[in-house]
Structure 1
Amino acid sequence: MIKFALTPTLTIAYEYHGPDNGAPVILLHGFPYSPRAFDEVAPALAAQGYRVIVPYLRGYGPTRFNSAQTLRSGQQAAMAQDLLDLMGALGIEQATLCGYDWGGRAACIVAALFPERVRGLVSGDGYNLQDIPNSFQPSDPETEHRLWYQYYFHTPRGVEGLRQNRRELCQLLWRLWSPTWARKDERYSLTAAAFDNPDFVDVVIHSYRHRFGYASGDPALEWMEEAVAKQPVISVPTISLCGADDGVGPASLVDEDAEQFSGFYERRVLAGVGHNIAEEAPQETLKALLDLLSR
């Protein structure tokens, strides 16, 4: 069931499962994905009595900006503020959060800055707060190679390429990022329509420019970006799920994020899983959520 929540910036479309009085769980997709990533997770949680909310992020599906004048920002603080605004609109004081990629970043920021609002966190690939002040530092060549699409989006050619070929380009990313997942082409056809949102291109381009300092952010969110720049630790109970076959950033042998978590923390590396963690490994995602919810 799709419902809508009116927030100060957006009218957020979200899929709803379970009873109204259940403990809330919010599931957050990334780029270039959609709520379809949680098709096998949300109903299973609802069947156990949880109130499950799966929003379309800004720029995806039926979610819309309330004003034509609003900056189509894709910065990390905007995603986190959208999550807070959604929780406020739905009267949710505290929720268990699960997200990966853009959605994981929103969840991690809220967990870091507003720990009282988060019962537990399942994060795709650990600590997802961008360190923008140090983004000018180059990575090793192999990592730089995997980030080619981000640099492409920094150019006018990349903007037009995404605008003209959004479905083909995003499908290529699915194939590169989940190289060992047999169902990627089958499942992609269920998600691609979410990219037809009129703000998709602008939000995506801004996201990948802002994170490298090539685009200004929303002035109203500068306070949050400044707080995130300090790379605060996350104190809420957290399970990190990492895809061993992730084409964006394969799971390292050593957990480099452990020091960013001060409470209960566990890292689980998933063999044969790429970047689209929740959709490729729904049972492992569900287990991580239930493990936290039962604590």
Structure 2
Amino acid sequence: MTTPADRLTSYSRSGLTFDVRDEGPADGPVVVLLHGFPQDSRSWDHLAPLLHARGFRTVAPDQRGYSPGARPKARWAYRGSELAADTVALIDTLGVGKVHLVGHDWGAAVAWQVAAERPDLLDTVTTVSVPHPLAFIKAMVTSTQGLKSWYMGAFQLPFVPEKILASSSLGEKFLVSSGQTPENARRDLNAMLAPGRLRGGLNWYRAMWMTKPNPAAARVTVPTLHVWSDGDAAIGPKGSALTPAFVDGPYRFEVLRGVSHWIPDEAPTELDRLLGEHFSS
């Protein structure tokens, strides 16, 4: 019988402590779930039980800026190299060998980097909504993606984004306009009001210019599933169309029709089916 002591509730790296939700069959293959902005590990609440029913153990951290013990103030602390290293440390702490890595939104960006830099740690990688980072950059200048990503520039402003998102009415309006339900928008915004958490989440955007992409080190060789939804208000189709050029391993691309950006909340059954097929293949 599994006891609470057998579960990972937190792990540490470089003086920071990350909260973890470790659920499902304790002896099952591990699926590491990485959330995006402005969510936390609860964004997987609808998907995780479906994976448990398939026999998988899910491990979902509250990432840098979200866990109370991991909210550094400086924006440079949120560089992509640090975010990826946090996930590598989690996998090392688990000590189970290779894992299946799944990321949504910013979690997908981290998953892409881990897959490129540490393929030895992964059985598969699944990226939800966000395409390969170099494909995304190219899409920014060759399609309407730059217009869709206007908020990334707005988030560079000091203090103003915090004030807007901390306002229950304005913050909720922003998230609902992107496809979230009012209930989920309130869930995520209320959690972001914890001291330092909103600044930490926004610092992911503010640090994105501090890492120069290295195309030679960005090739992905592990089996890859990329899932995009055609109702995504933030991510257009161009980045996904360009993504195969950066994947050398087995690659599968799936489009969820009529689904918004918030795939794990909105379409967990469809995502579970795709993951089950991907993991078994």
Distance 2:98 2:142 in 1: 39
Within the candidate set 11, 20, 30, 1:14 is matched to 20
Structure 2 residue 157 is matched with structure 1 residue 151: no
Check conservation: 2:32, 2:101, Cα contact below 8 A: yes
Residue aligned with 2:133, SS: coil
Give the match for residue 129 of structure 2.
125
Q: Which structure 2 residues correspond to residues 89-238 of structure 1 after superposition, within 5 A?
A: 89-125=93-129, 127-129=131-133, 139=141, 142-156=144-158, 158-162=160-164, 164-165=166-167, 167-178=168-179, 184-213=181-210, 225=211, 228=214, 230=216, 232-238=218-224
In structure 2, C-alpha distance between the alignment counterparts of 1:173 and 1:44, rounded to whole Å? 30
Moved more, 250-259 or 7-16: 250-259
Q: Which amino acid aligns with 1:199?
A: G
In structure 1, how many angstroms separate the alpha carbons of the residues matched to 2:256 and 2:26? 33
Q: Secondary structure at the match of 1:5?
A: strand
In the alignment, does 2:247 pair up with 1:261? yes
C-alpha contact 2:145 2:238 (8 A) present in aligned 1:
no
Give the deviation of 1:14 after TM superposition: 1.5
Q: Conserved in 2, the CA contact under 8 Å of 1:97 and 1:120? A: yes
Q: Are 1:59 and 1:195, in contact at CA under 8 Å, matched by a contact in 2?
A: no
Out of 237, 251, 260, the residue aligned to residue 274 of structure 1 is 260
Superposed displacement of residue 152, structure 1: 1.8
Q: In structure 2, the residue corresponding to 1:25 is in which secondary structure?
A: strand
- Partner of residue 10, structure 2: 4
What do the CA deviations read for 1:75-112 (whole angstroms, capped 9, x no partner)? 22222111111112222431101111111111111111
2:123/2:222 contact within 8 Å kept: yes
Does residue 246 of structure 1 match 2:232?
Answer: yes
Q: TM-score scaled to structure 1, two decimals?
A: 0.81
TM-aligned CA deviation for residue 154 of structure 1: 1.9
Structure 1 counterpart of 2:55, from 49, 53, 59: 49
Decide whether the 8 Å contact of 1:72 with 1:199 is kept in 2.
no
Q: Secondary structure at the match of 2:20?
A: strand
Aligned equivalents of 1:187, 1:47: Cα separation in 2: 24
Partner SS, residue 139 of structure 1? helix
2:64 maps to what in 1? Answer: 58
Any idea what the Cα deviations from partners look like across 1:106-148, whole Å, max 9, x if unmatched?
Answer: 111111111111111111135333589x79x973684333223
**1:79 maps to which residue?**
83
Picking from 36, 41, 50, the partner of 1:35 is 41
Whether contact under 8 Å (1:32, 1:170) holds in the other structure is: no
Aligned counterparts of 2:171 and 2:216: Cα–Cα separation in 1: 32
Name the counterpart of 2:273.
Answer: 287
Query: Match of 1:21, as an amino acid?
Result: D
| Structure 1 residues 63 and 89: alpha-carbon distance in aligned structure 2, compared to 1, 3 A threshold | farther
CA shift for structure 1 position 47: 2.4
284-293 vs 151-160, which moves further: 151-160
Question: How far is the alpha carbon of 1:150 from its aligned partner?
Answer: 1.8
How many angstroms apart in 1 are the aligned matches of 2:240 and 2:81?
28
Q: SS state of the match for residue 40, structure 1? A: coil
5+ residue gaps in structure 1?
214-224
Whether the 8 Å CA contact 2:165–2:171 is kept in 1: the answer is no
Give 3-state SS (helix, strand or coil) of 2:237's partner.
coil
Other structure's SS at 2:188 match: helix
Hey, what's the Cα distance between the residues in 2 that align with 1:268 and 1:69? 37
**Structure 1 counterpart of 2:141, one-letter code:** S
Q: Describe the SS at the equivalent of 1:6.
A: strand
TM-score (norm 2): 0.84
What is the SS of the residue equivalent to 2:160? Answer: helix
CA distance in structure 1 between the aligned counterparts of 2:29 and 2:140, rounded to whole angstroms: 43
- Contact 2:25/2:56 (CA < 8 Å) preserved in 1? yes
Secondary structure, aligned partner of 2:176 = helix
Q: CA deviation at 1:33?
A: 1.7
The letter for the 2-side match of 1:8 is S
